[in-house]
Structure 1
């Protein structure tokens, strides 16, 4: 038996804020879990330090399922992003410990590799269509097999997904939320021309993706999906807010463009009806926000019954700890689809040395025991927390809208 001797929360900001849980056992093993919730980081840190960690000390670190149920059922107040992110951090750390105890990379404990690597997509963006395509060509030259396209919208000062840097994008950019202006009409006129020119430049052997970021009504999303059909997009992501799951039925009635959703989901119940009614094609729930590997595997197993594949969120607001966990997960499951991959900064990579790697459009978690990632605590301490919020969005008449 390997009992939990201590656990602590590490908050660091090497270019952006990350919350990490480190668990240590009485036989000298350590495990890491990501607990980052963008813009609400300290809420999860408090949940862990004040409410979860006291309940962990002395428990058997190898009873992962039992501890998951203890934290989920035992708290009475279930679900929600703060709770599920905290549970995920514990779950990841315990799987990391189990892998180290076995001397095996985590994917081997999850059944072994189902593929040679996980296909990832990069983010091509620019203020104009031409800039976006130029950026996409750079990704293609690097061997990417899938590329997300986001371009500025004529007539709008800022657009979601368009960064100041070719490779790094951090939307949580201010001490208080910045406000952007949005026009659905202007946006809808801009997307099909982007994809048309992208196909001309990139050809048909590269998967092209696009993120709507919850900004359309169902009928507007149906119209966009139909406009994009001639260019065969890999998916249309988050076309409309998913609180009303029935809304996706209306989108389905109007387009055959594949639909991806779920980066802000935190339990199987958020995805259940969408999957069972076959209203989506890709589920994007993450290891960190959907209760860890234990719970995300359940979501993937349900999705597999309905030929829905995974496409886990992988922006820079997920730490390298989650990226490692996501790659072990994606390598092992039968219905993996694609993994989002946004590069972390050199400062972040220095704080979180890792075994995962990229080559030929694929990523592999590596064969180090457990998750294959560590944290340099001395270096982490040199990057103190800095409050940062995601933006908010308003229509041109001032109405608050979905960011």
Structure 2
């Protein structure tokens, strides 16, 4: 079998309402969808975490892979990605991320070749129901959606998700520059949701070490399951660990530093960002050996989410709920998408490979939106439309 063509299509899939994060208002996902075609009629699907990686795939990755055997993933990687010593010295890791998006498609082809779901190629399922959290954030109203701009409305939103979908795992960003607002919101959430609900938080590195010490002391009585990136560096997290028992997580996949410093406790990553599924499995195994947790990233479309589902099904370590923005996505590029959890869980697809396929009409719809509007900005502040958002330094 040989690779004959690689198609890259940029798409925009908005949320029903934007949400506030450290950088500004986050309106949705601008992704690149990858289709790897073969001379035996099989096509694999991949997804890049941001559209500019799709441009690298077009210019660098695709030409190197034409004629390659898609089942020989090691050879495919060697054609595209420099040795790690080179990327470490140059700081240029974009080729690894771009290849990681294509590598997901190669696994999809392999599963289709053997007519097996990906989780079986990875050794079989230890679970079939994969946990995902609900998400909450401060969201301005947009076309009848959102409007959660106070602690009370965030509490009411989470109660609504529990009533409608059986949700009991909640994660959120409470990022308006006021730690007192975060404390009030968490207090209301715990009182309303009860002791058994999981509450996770994420500040996107918003707080200074001084403020984070005080904030986590105030939050400790509310049984916070995890706090993602409460401060900006691993060194600050290690210092913060001396003052708090709340577990920490990060998107920065630097396992050596985390082990050396003793913090953070968990990693939350996108598979393409780690270089693909094969490298993600190695990273997860290393996390397990070093006593670190791992779960999966949010704001992905159905193709990458399917990869998360299969790997989580086949990997005992991923028992914690992964992140999810599913409820806010107004569409997807796959049939019957987007995935949405019921009772905190999504069932792993049983079809060959990733078990998902493109929805031609929806795919065209979101591709046209990208063509018409260009990539979405995740740094927009209505009060300062020409500048990135800035927050008070606490």
Q: TM-score, normalised by structure 2?
A: 0.82
Q: Distance in 2 between matches of 1:101 and 1:112?
A: 17
Q: Check 1:308–1:98 CA distance in 2 against 1; reply closer, same or farther (3 A cut).
A: same
Match of 1:146 in 2: 169
Instruction: Name the residue aligned to 2:270.
Output: 286
How far apart are 1:377 and its partner, in Å?
Answer: 4.1
Q: 1:68 to 1:278 in 2, by over 3 A?
A: farther
Shift of 1:348: 2.7
Number of aligned residue pairs: give it.
Answer: 355
Compared with structure 1, are the counterparts of its residues 191 and 300 closer, same or farther at alpha carbon in structure 2 (3 Å cutoff)? Answer: same
Evaluate the alpha carbon distance shift between residue 55 and residue 150 of structure 1 in structure 2; reply closer, same or farther with a 3 A threshold. closer
Note if 1:320 corresponds to 2:302: yes
* Structure 1 residue 346 displacement after superposition: 7.0
| 1:237 aligned to which of 202, 209, 228 | 228
Give the conservation status (yes or no) of the 8 Å contact 1:260–1:311: no
Equivalent residues in 2 for 1:195-214, closer than 5 Å: 195-214=186-205
Contact 1:19 1:35 in 2 (8 A): yes
SS at match of 1:229: helix
CA contact under 8 A between 1:354 and 1:374: conserved in structure 2? no
**Structure 1 residue 114: deviation in Å?**
1.9
Please say if residues 119 and 145 of structure 1, whose CA atoms lie closer than 8 Å, have aligned partners that are also in contact. no
Check conservation: 1:124, 1:147, Cα contact below 8 A: yes
Shift in CA distance, 87/312, structure 1 to aligned 2, threshold 3 Å? same
**Unmatched 5+ residue regions in structure 1?**
152-159, 161-181
Q: TM (normalized to structure 1)?
A: 0.80
The residue that corresponds to 1:124 in the other structure is 136
Correspondence for 2:335 among 347, 350, 353:
353
Aligned residue for 1:368? 351
Q: Secondary structure at the match of 2:269?
A: coil
Among 260, 267, 277, which residue is 2:249 paired with? 260
Answer yes or no: is the 8 Å Cα contact 1:282–1:308 preserved in 2: yes
- The answer to whether the Cα contact below 8 Å between 2:4 and 2:38 also exists between their aligned partners in 1 is yes
Q: Aligned equivalents of 1:323 and 1:221: distance in 2?
A: 32
> Which whole-Å CA distance do the structure 1 matches of 2:247 and 2:203 have between them?
13
1:150 Cα deviation from its structure 2 partner: 4.2
Match of 2:32 in 1: 19
Within the alignment, does 1:55 sit opposite 2:58 as a pair? no
1:73–1:121 Cα change, 3 Å: same
Relative to structure 1, the CA distance from residue 8 to residue 55 in structure 2 (aligned partners, 3 Å threshold; closer, same or farther) is: same
Residue ranges of structure 2 left out of the alignment (5+ in a row): 15-28, 138-147
Mapping for residues 268-307 of structure 1, pairs under 5 Å:
268=253, 270-275=254-259, 277-307=261-291
The residue that corresponds to 1:389 in the other structure is 377
